[in-house]
Structure 1
Amino acid sequence: MAYSGSVQVGGPADVHELTGLMISKVAVGPMNNNAYLLRCRATGEQLLVDAANDAGTLLRLIGDDGIASVVTTHRHGDHWQALEEVVSATGATTYAGRDDAEGIPVRTDVPLADGDTVRVGEVELTARHLVGHTPGSVALVYDDPHGHPHLFTGDCLFPGGVGNTFGDHDAFLSLLQDVETKLFAQLPDETWVYPGHGDDTMLGTERPHLAEWRERGW
């Protein structure tokens, strides 16, 4: 079956098979968070994006091959509830945005700044620091040499808008500016977007609405 990006808590993972990378998306409770398991097809090495919750679900998804690393997209608690248990079970190296690391109660082995790279086997991901939802949120870009880019946005970009900035207009403007300059300005419309909650989207679907988002202020 073709990948849809639509998953439900308690349901099966949906798998996006690329030439060099397999992306397995699963939803975990209680806040319907998405977690993504990335597997390099050449080496079998695996990386998890957001050990959000339900460690048992995530460890079953990871399987016997384990994971080399976990990237936490930001410091909010619903994105790291299973991190300690997953790291304890797998020995994975932990990554998070440099300015959010202190808010994550599991040690960050590798703090990320804008433009830093994270590798999973032969696949390279580029971190983009996006300020506003939290001080140190990071998105991950996989610029697929065999196709279009793939973008893991945490809670910074969703279908229909940027992430919640909790009524802070300055934070909203910061986040929108970063999303516009570091994502929309640098990546094509065909870029597939994998958010921290809910369904996937594409940059081309969202691009026509940037001015509308700025006008409405959220």
Structure 2
Amino acid sequence: MVEHTATSTADVRAVHVGPMDNVAYLVTCRASGAQLLVDAADEPDTLLDLVQEGDPRGRLGTVVTTHRHRDHVGALEALVEATGAGTAAGADDADHLPVPVDRRLAHGDVVRVGELALEVVHLRGHTPGSVALVLRDPDGPDHVFTGDSLFPGGVGNTRGDAGDFARLLDDVTDRLFAVLADDTVVHPGHGAPTTLGEQRPQLPQWRERGW
């Protein structure tokens, strides 16, 4: 089932794919029909159908991979081959993807989709090159696609590494919670969306428990 969210400038469609219930997000610029996919995780035919639904012309321009883990790239090669879309990923994860990466993303970069500008936020810890994308909405809440760096109830798995956990929680705190409003919608790489306001009160608990 495709989940649809409309902003004043974009349409966001989400579909759950693969055995790990990954969520892939298609962002379509309303003004131009240009499209960007966040995480070609699995089921390439499902993702191609999503592209066609997002815009009948099927104009997928870019696939952004939030991080290197295999469950987030299972359909990447097939989707790029079928659509000719360009690829982008965090610079420190780019060499670990199954396809060449056209653009290596750094903190503060902007990825353009038609008339939309998505801000790149580097969130270190789940993987070295994990990135999130912020979609601003001048007439409503902003939206952030966090991959596996932020979920309802906590940050992403850092496999018991205290240093990686501290880096990730610091980045999430300083680069998301400190700069975005509480009504910002969080679209994670697995599971249901949430808001920063719903999660903010839990930050001290996350730091105390260490995961």
1:144 to 124, 137, 140: 137
CA distance in 2, matches of 1:133, 1:122: 31
Q: Aligned equivalents of 2:19 and 2:42: distance in 1? A: 8
TM-score, normalised by the number of residues in structure 2: 0.97
The Cα of 1:143 is off from its aligned counterpart by: 1.5
Q: List aligned pairs for 1:49-60, cutoff 5 A.
A: 49-60=38-49
Q: How many Å apart are 1:145 and its aligned residue?
A: 1.4
Give the TM-score of the pair, scaled to structure 1: 0.94
1:21 aligns with 2:17: no
Q: Quick one: which of 175, 188, 210 aligns to 1:182?
A: 175
The secondary structure found in structure 2 opposite 1:68 is strand
The number of equivalent residue pairs is: 207
Unpaired runs of 5+ in structure 1? 1-11
For 1:111 and 1:201, how far apart are their aligned partners in 2?
28
2:103 corresponding residue in structure 1:
110
Residue 196 (structure 1) aligned with residue 185 (structure 2): no
Aligned partner (choices 153, 165, 169) of residue 172 of structure 1: 165
Unaligned ranges ≥5, structure 2? none
- Candidates 127, 130, 136, aligned match of 2:123: 130
Query: Deviation at 1:170?
Result: 0.6
User: For residue 15 of structure 2, what is the amino acid of its counterpart?
Assistant: V
Are the equivalent residues in 1 in contact too, given 2:76–2:98 (CA < 8 A)?
no
Identity of aligned residues (%): 57
CA-to-aligned-CA distance 1:89-145 (integer Å, 9 cap, x gap): 000010000000011121110000000000111010000001000000000001111
Matches of 1:98 and 1:179 in 2, distance apart?
A: 18
Output the CA distance in 2 between the equivalents of 1:62 and 1:72: 16
Q: Distance in 1 between matches of 2:204 and 2:8?
A: 35
Moved over 6 A (4+): none
Q: CA RMSD in A?
A: 0.6
CA displacement, residues 166-204 of structure 1 (integer Å, 9 cap, x when unaligned): 111110000000000000000010000000000000000
Secondary structure of 1:147 counterpart:
coil
Q: Which residue of 2 aligns with 1:212?
A: 205
